[in-house]
Amino acid sequence: MKQYNILFLCTHNSARSVLGEALASTHPSGKFVGYSAGSTPGTSINPIARELALGMGYDENKLRSKSWDEYGLPDAPQMDFIVTVCDNAAGEVCPYWPGKPATAHWGFPDPSQVKGNDLEKKAAFISVMNGLKKRIDLLASMPLDSLDSMSLKEIHTKI
């Protein structure tokens, strides 16, 4: 079975995009290899995002903030799909992506900005994780070989 590379982009690559990477890579369909990056990556992964990713069985060694420039290099994996998950990254000028991948914006509020106690903060991350999971589940059910950007964007409106 062919696996599809999907890159999740956000500004800091510390929470939402990391959850997308982990969800895609551990998806039960086995159809995806997830990646994540940011336009201005932070220095670390948010601890709650790390905990949730590890809970999915995602490899801890892959959890690091990365610049999206890494994926524009000639030796980088070629992406089939690119999804922005924060409004800031969606509005930025992205690098050139070799291979003309299908692109979409699946915006989610930044869970790391939630104020409150630890349970409220974790609930915000779980909400984003569940929203991403629904979209990845829907993506996995589609005819991936013929999917274009318009179809990928429609996933956001079907949820």
What confidence tens digit (pLDDT) does each residue in 45-56 have? 999 999 999 999
Produce one character per residue of 112-144: b if its CB has 16 or more CB atoms within 10 Å, e if not: beeeeeeeebbebbeebbebbbebbeebbeeeb
Partners of residue 8 on adjacent β-strands: 36, 83
Q: Among 6-15, 16-25, 120-129, 147-156, whose mean pLDDT is lowest?
A: 147-156
Q: Please, what is the Cα angle at 145 between 97 and 38, to 5 degrees?
A: 30
What confidence tens digit (pLDDT) does each residue in 98-145 have? 778 888 889 999 999 999 999 999 999 999 999 999 999 999 998 888
User: How many helices and strands in the chain, by DSSP H and E?
Assistant: 5, 4
Is this structure's pTM higher than 0.85? yes
Q: How far apart (Å, rounded) are the C-alpha atoms in residues 111 and 124?
A: 5
Tokens (6 digits) for 83: 């999804």
Task: Examine the pLDDT at 154 and tell me if it is beyond 80.
Answer: no
Ordered by start, the domain boundaries in the chain are 4-158
Contacts of 50 (CB under 8 A, 6+ apart): 18, 60, 63
pLDDT band at residue 42 using 50, 70 and 90 as cut-offs: confident
Task: Considering the domain delimited by 4-158, tell me its CATH architecture.
Answer: 3-Layer(aba) Sandwich (3.40)
pLDDT band at residue 89 using 50, 70 and 90 as cut-offs: low
